[in-house]
Structure 1
Amino acid sequence: MHGLFTIEGFGRHVPDRVLTNAELETMVDTSDDWITSRTGIKERRIVAPGETSSDLAAKAASNALLSAGREAADLSHIFYATFTPDAFCPPASCILQEKLGIRGRACVDMNAACSGFLYAIEAARGTLALRPGSTVLVTAAEVTTSRTNWADRATCVLFGDGAGAIVVSDREPKPGQAVIEDVVLKADGSLWPLLTVKGGGSGWPMKLGDTIKDEFFIEMNGPEVYKNAVRSMGSVCEEIVEKNGLVMDDIDLFIPHQANLRIIEAVGKRLKFSGNRVMVTVDRYGNTSAASVAIALADAVAEGRVKPGARVLLTVFGGGFTWGAALLKFV
């Protein structure tokens, strides 16, 4: 793929409500020590009653547009990564467009589970290659708590809500902006049963009067997900770095999917990243699925973690299984 793919602006938004481990101790049989030692998570954000995925996305998108010095009217496409849209129909991207006060743009929701942000970035690159001059909003927003079983202590401690967004164009980058150098995406559908949210889909339909069952919520084989996540993210990062003629020492900041601190540390150890070279937000946000890397990227920019010339490596892993990596270079 040829052309210039510039991230002009970065934004994120998380709900105000903080759910701490201490509060979870009153809701389910768990403890702060147990959660912290196994996941590194201390707290997570959860939506207010009635607050939706597109509400979070609209605020993140507005922040990204402000960062880019752009107006919503400048957008030509909206790509929205989520597995927790406001509804099955209409697409959350259409609802987001209305909340941004524009009409007539191409809108599409994308579900690659926790990998959705990078899949949407690749779609933005493809759009710009096919239609030069486009300006694409890529957002990832999740209300994972809407699909969290609060009686399942193995999963309910992990997830949080939030949204991140970027504005992508083929304009020459300005200081503080970044060029998308490459994206590599992977999937293995044979492993789909290991991480699921089945209930309500056409394979697990619901009819009037049915009670909500466990399959309506996130179900996960934790040990198998852990093994596959570490192996897959490590491998795809090695692939993209080698493909672009680089070595790991060329990477200034590593931003992995924020699922679990043990996974982050295991992947970092394999790739020889540690300390300030690794962006960690899972301790304060939990796993926000598709939004996790989008939020972490916006936080890294806001915190001054990326200097001019910095090269940033992103990697993701999610249900499907899906995974991938992306290389960014800041100007």
Structure 2
Amino acid sequence: MKINILAIESSCDETSAAVISDGKILNNIIATQSVHEKYGGVVPELASRAHQLHLIPVIHEAIQSSGIDKSQLSAVAFTKGPGLMGSLLVGVSFAKSFAYALGIPLIEINHMQAHILAHFIDDPKPKFPFICLTVSGGHTQLVLVEDYLTMKVIGETMDDAVGEAFDKSAKLLGLPYPGGPLIDKYAKEGNPKAFAFPVSDMPGLNFSFSGIKTAVLYFLRDRLKEDPEFITKNLNDICASVQYTLIKMLMQKLKRAAKEYQINEIAIAGGVSANFGLRNELQLVADIERWNIYIPKFEYCTDNAAMIAMAAHFKYLNKEFSGLDVVPEARMKL
């Protein structure tokens, strides 16, 4: 009998559902929330309300387009955390109710673990052990991946995530939310060494990105005093310089981790792994360091249910099921 799993992702501002059958992703339905754009960031209460509106249609489409009847489902998986508590509650509540009604197991998934396991959706797939740089709006981690369900954080940010640094810098430049992709877009046409920003170097394999946000703030304040049109005239160069600095900080730690653990299987995951500049730099460094690198398709970089489904498949094989008393964890550790 086939293992068919319905997976639900609702950790932040993407409502997503996917169906996986014997380890093969059949679909990946995503409803994006545009309500946050005018606020310059995700508003938790609005996010949870949007999940309530989107969840049933998204799940209905995922099941219908999979060609699998709900009676053929083997389990229901959901994101337990980390994420916004209100958003997580919507997904967890539906998953528990649906699993109970069908009399099938419930599988809780760590959102960050799922980002890493997105690498096993398509070929080529990394070999164990490998190091994964997981970069998003809420997290920046270096993870030693020893097996599908055995992972260890070997480095992480001590303050802000790199995705937040991208978005906050974009906001200072007057760019709409989400600003990270826009910095990447304008950076393609700019000079990455036009302006110098400080590169922080925390001890060991940890990161710090709060300093560059402050540096960008003061840099723009001083330049705008001299020329009110400074941003407009130099937008591409500013974006390129900010992005160059952030990527440099990521890569210096990734190279250090690869050398320390003597591993040449290297992966990136999370929303920021969709960044063109990061992907390009990773390839350049890989050619020099002789790494085998793995980058998910764009649709599996940002929050999505396919990665939740992939993680659920491995947990199902390992018979790791949850009880109906499970609750979400906003600050869940890997």
Please classify the TM superposition score into its range, dividing by the shorter chain length: 0.3 to 0.5
More helix by share: 2
Q: Name the TM-score, length of structure 2 as normaliser.
A: 0.34
Q: Name the TM-score, length of structure 1 as normaliser.
A: 0.34
More strand by share: 1
